[in-house]
Amino acid sequence: MKVSAVLFDLDGTLLNTLTDIAAALNRTLAGRGLPELTLEEVRAYVGSGSRRLVERAVPAGTAETVTDAVLAAYRADYDKNCDIATRPYAGIPGTLAALKAAGISLAVVSNKPDGAVKALTDTHFPGIFSSAVGEGPGIRRKPAPDTVLAAMAKLGVSAEETVYVGDSEVDVATAKNAGVPCLSALWGFRTRTQLEEAGAAHFLERPEELPELI
């Protein structure tokens, strides 16, 4: 297989965003008198977009109107505070530079709101990615294939030329739905066992393995 493009998930794959997500979520919950979450609880809840994160975070039986208010407040807080503790994982910058030097097209596909995806990508990886696609109007969140298909269209590549790299069960399902092979990152928010249970079959122990594989 000739690989022309690599698509990356953002949270847990390129960037360790967990601390900033948890801080924004807990500020929002505490501001409404709701129980805060541990970092590990937040780790387990991320991956399916901000609405699903908030739905998991609020107590069972919370009224939908309250959930909607928490979601709006969380998004506003996170938009302002999404890049305080967030950093690329070790090995990611060098790996991206090596892929780009080899002529591989690169894109980000994420369940974050599209504005945050583009802002974080531009800040941490200037000039590296040709496309960065997040959740927005008319684009269903992963595991629907919309973000992947949009990125491939922007890059002008087919599924046969594309590899997807992600760290969660959502990413495994997304790649399957888009018809592209998936490499599961073991440095992110899920364990190997969790990924295997989700059907993952190909793994990356370190980012630096990626250029060698493709």
Q: For 82-163, where are the alpha helices, taking DSSP H only?
A: 92-101, 114-124, 146-155
Q: What is the DSSP letter of 102?
A: T
Q: Is 9 a catalytic residue?
A: yes
Find the catalytic residue in 9, 11, 146, 171.
9
Q: How far, in Å, are 45, 57, 133 from residue 61 at the CA level?
A: 17, 12, 33
Q: How far, in Å, are 30, 108, 210 from residue 122 at the CA level?
A: 31, 11, 22
Pairing of strands 105-113, 131-135: parallel
C-alpha closest to that of 42 among 77, 76, 11: 11
Q: What is the DSSP letter of 161?
A: G
Separation CA 211–CA 94 (nearest Å) = 10
Reported as half-sphere exposure (CB side, CA atoms, 13 A), residue 37 has a value of 25
Which tokens belong to 14?
Answer: 């390129």
Calculate the CA 40 to chain-centre distance: 17
Q: Which residues are catalytic, by number? A: 9
